[in-house]
Structure formats: structure tokens, C-alpha cells
Amino acid sequence: MWIDLAFVLSGFIFDNVLRLMFPIDPAMRFLVFVPNLGFLAMLMVVLKKPLPQALGWALVLGLILDLMRHEQFSNVLAFPISVYMVKIWSQQLNESLFEQVFVGTIGLFIKELVYYLILVIFAVTRLQIGPWFIKREFLTLIGHVPLLIGLSWFNRVKNGTQKNLDLRRRGRESIRWNPTVRP
């Protein structure tokens, strides 16, 4: 669990670094790249967890992100909805690199669509959906494909490290705790 949390937090930290390198234009005059590696790292972690635990992770991380960035509780709604939809849909897929990149891109698209709908419902934006996706989503979705490949590789390294740590821990255990086995 601690390794998963460190993986997700490093994604959010790298998001902040990318936000410094690629500033977001709030007026939407230009194409915008919105880094979402923290969300994608969380998505890769929670796809292996049971649904209630996955939704809990999404809700807590969305709340923390909204409180830190003052985003009017949009991530509290967008994160769990996108995690639920992707988790239900991705049960039919394997863990190949292509499928992980595809699932990450679909998850990011769903999150941004829910985010847009929340902004429209609360009258924060008057931008139509076409310009929204042209100005904000096009570069965001395309720009995350190479980042998703790297994130997927780090996720595989993380999973391998977790398996090795579990095997080492189990190897040091003795069977003395089992009352049915006599010494």
C-alpha cells in the first residue's frame, strides 16, 4: 500500500513540475496541455483493487486535490465517476502496454468530460463542447500517450518490486504460527 501511495504521489509531484513547464492559459486562447499523471497513476493503481476501495481512493484523492487547488469540488465528482466507468469496462482487458495506454487515455477522456459537464452545470464556463475539446483536450490526450508509456513501465517495475518484497517476507516466515503443524 505504501508503494502504491508513493507511486501516486510521485505522479502528482511530476504534474506540478509539468505545470511549471507548460503553463495553462485560463482564457483558452491557445492549445492547452493539462498534466494528469497523478490521476493516471491513481487509475493504474486502483484498477487492481476492489471497487469500493478504488472508489474510496478516487474520492479521497479528488478531495485533497480540490482543497489544494481550489477547484470547487470538481475532482471529487470526476475522479470516482471516471474510476467507476473505467474499472467496470476494463475488466475485459489484459495488461499489455497498448491496453494500459488505451485505458489511461479513455480514463483521462472520461475525467475531462465529467469535469467539463460540472463546469457547465455550475455555470463556470460558457465555452461550447467543441472548442473545449479542441483547445484543452486534443493536446492533453495526445501529450499523455508517451507519458502513459513511461508511467506504465514504472507501474510494472513497482508491481515487480512489490511481488519480490512479498516473496522475501514470506520466505522469512516460519510455520510455527500454525497450530495444526506439530514441530
Taking residue 57's Cβ as centre, other Cβ atoms within 10 Å add up to: 21
Helix (H, G, I), strand (E, B) or coil at 1: coil
**DSSP per position, 19-73:** HHHS---TT--S------HHHHHHHHHHTTS-HHHHHHHHHHHHHHHHHHHT-TT
Q: What is the pTM of this model?
A: 0.84
Query: What is the C-alpha to C-alpha distance for residues 128 and 136, in angstroms, rounded to an integer?
Result: 12
Residue 183's pLDDT is 54
Residue 53's pLDDT is 93
Query: What is the C-alpha to C-alpha distance for residues 75 and 79, in angstroms, rounded to an integer?
Result: 5
Residue 177's pLDDT is 61
The one-digit pLDDT tens for each residue of the chain (183 residues) are: 788 888 999 999 998 899 888 887 777 778 888 899 999 999 999 988 899 999 999 999 999 988 988 777 888 999 999 999 998 888 777 778 888 899 999 999 999 999 899 888 888 878 888 888 888 888 889 999 999 999 999 988 988 888 888 888 877 766 666 566 555
Helix (H, G, I), strand (E, B) or coil at 118: helix
Residue 13's pLDDT is 92
Contact predicate 112/136, CB 8 Å? yes
Residue 106's pLDDT is 92
111 CB-near residues (< 8 Å, 6+ apart): 36, 39, 78, 79, 81, 82
